[in-house]
Structure 1
Amino acid sequence: MDLKLVSRTLILAVAGGSFALTAFAQWQWIDKDGRKVYSDRSPPSDVPEKNILKQPRGAKMAVTPVPDGGDQATAPAPAAKNNASLPKLSGKDPLLEAKKKQAEDEEAAKKKVEEEKVAKGKADNCERAQKGAASLQSGQRISVTNAKGEREYMDDNARAAEVKRLQAIVNTDCK
């Protein structure tokens, strides 16, 4: 593409983007930090009227009387309704409470399944250790395979060490 065509397209895109930003923003004011703010809603009540730079035609910030007699600028207030007809809110969302309870129940179920797996693993370890200790204490010759893949028979020291190791497993897992 031609460099001029690319630069024109880029300039039009940037100009169009900034136009779109200001076209939808009907309010413009300077906030308490000194930055310009563009919005389609009126500024907060703490923004003084001298800091409002742009507003829609005929729009003014709604003024609601304060109980002490002064005026306070705020966003338009909803029409007053009879408080007796409004439902009393408990501050709890039943749907949210139900989801929270369901999540807690699922977490408890997962925890129970995990505990059952651990208990089953301990029971299996206990049974194997008891069988191994019984066979070592029977006096029969026990062979093991070394790192080279050769069969070796356990001597009395190796047998005693293995019985001690298996007894430690029995002590921890067979409760």
Structure 2
Amino acid sequence: MFAMDLMHTLACAMRPFAARAALLAACALLAASPAQAQWKWISSAGVVQYSDQPPPSNIPAKNILAKPLAATAPQEPSASAAAASAASPPAKEQAQTQAARDLQQKLEQDKRAKEAAQNLQKQIEAQARQANCLQAQRQLQTLDSGVRMAEVDPQGNRTYVTDAQRAAQRQQAAAAIAANCR
């Protein structure tokens, strides 16, 4: 719940910046696209040529004045497509990689949830120990006070606690204190 509130707050705070960033990114893409896709060379007739395609194979390398940033040498379109497909992993491998990342992320979330549940369980147990400790301490104080104590049996009859019963209850209270008061 807290994470969702935090994400919402951040999203609201970032809206003005996000619009500016998107506009700047669009401008950068528009400005960079033609520059990266431009070839410039001197043709056999001595005329400067511009194109988004590589120059013909009969143009010597010394006459090529500019290349796109990604290009190192003139290539045929089919050769560049083959090189691109060889460089990028197949879609099936990418899907498996994404599935592996998703699984890893889910495992990490489960681990964090399990740790949070364990921490909550420890807190509950600590509170129960504290309550038991206080109850045992009060019971021991009552037993040590010397006040005459009575119990009610299942039939509703009142009976007084004997010295032996008081000693046994005192031992139980002392054991509870030792177990719960740390």
- TM-score (norm: length of structure 1): 0.50
Higher helix proportion, which one? 2
- TM-score (norm: length of structure 2): 0.48
